[in-house]
Every structure is written in structure tokens, then in C-alpha cells.
Amino acid sequence: MIGGMDPRQMKRMMAQMGIDSTEVPATKVIIETDSEKIVIENPQVTEIKMNGESSFQIAGKVVKEAAISKDDLALVREQTGATEEKASQAIKDANGDIALAIMKLKGE
């Protein structure tokens, strides 16, 4: 019970206020920014609809990864002749250091 309130009562009160919540059967949630990729594994996702707008509440294990820009990927591929997969892995292994990724691929 939340705050001493029965979950059914809470749902009824929310419905009276025009708020509807629904569980979303997600297996993974990915949020991408310019500098990182946030992956939420085994998430519990709830969609909350109110006044014609939807918002999402997400809980789960968070894993952050460096985002790889298309320009960085293209530069590494151009300089080394590597496939997209190899270039991407080299950038990840070098923690986003493009010069190091290029040197490692050229040294293979």
C-alpha cells in the first residue's frame, strides 16, 4: 500500500483525475545523447497518460556506454580500411579515443 492507500483505491482516484497508467512490456530501454548511450536492462516501464500527454517512468539496471558518432566511425574506417563493426569495436575498446582506435587497428 502506498501511503496507507489500497492500490485499487489509488487507481480509482487516478482515473477520477483523468490519469491512466499502463505497464509497458519492455525488455530494454535505450536513451541516446550526443555523448553517451544509456541502456536500462530488464526495465519496469509505466506509461502515465494525463491531459493528452504521455510520460514514462522507468526503473531497472542502468549501463552507460560511450556514444559513437557517425563522423568518428567514418574517420576510423577511412584511415584504417576497417569494417564498420571492427571500427566500432576499436572505438569502444579505446574508450572513445579516436587516435588510439586508429593506431590499434593499423597495428593489427
DSSP 8-state assignment for residue 19: E
Q: What is the per-residue pLDDT for 1?
A: 46
Q: What is the per-residue pLDDT for 99?
A: 94
Q: 70-107: same fold as 7-66? A: no
Give residue limits of the domains in the chain: 7-66, 70-107
* Structural fold of domain 7-66: Ubiquitin Ligase Nedd4; Chain: W; (2.20.70)
Tell me which CATH code domain 70-107 carries: 1.10.8
Q: Mapped to the 3 state alphabet, what secondary structure does 26-93 carry?
A: CCEEEEECCCEEEEEEEEEEEEEEECCEEEEEEEEEEEEEECCCHHHHHHHHHHHCCCHHHHHHHHHH
Task: Give the chain's residues under pLDDT 50.
Answer: 1
Cα 48-50-56 angle, rounded to 5 deg: 25
Q: What is the per-residue pLDDT for 57?
A: 94
Look at residue 102 and give its three-state secondary structure: helix
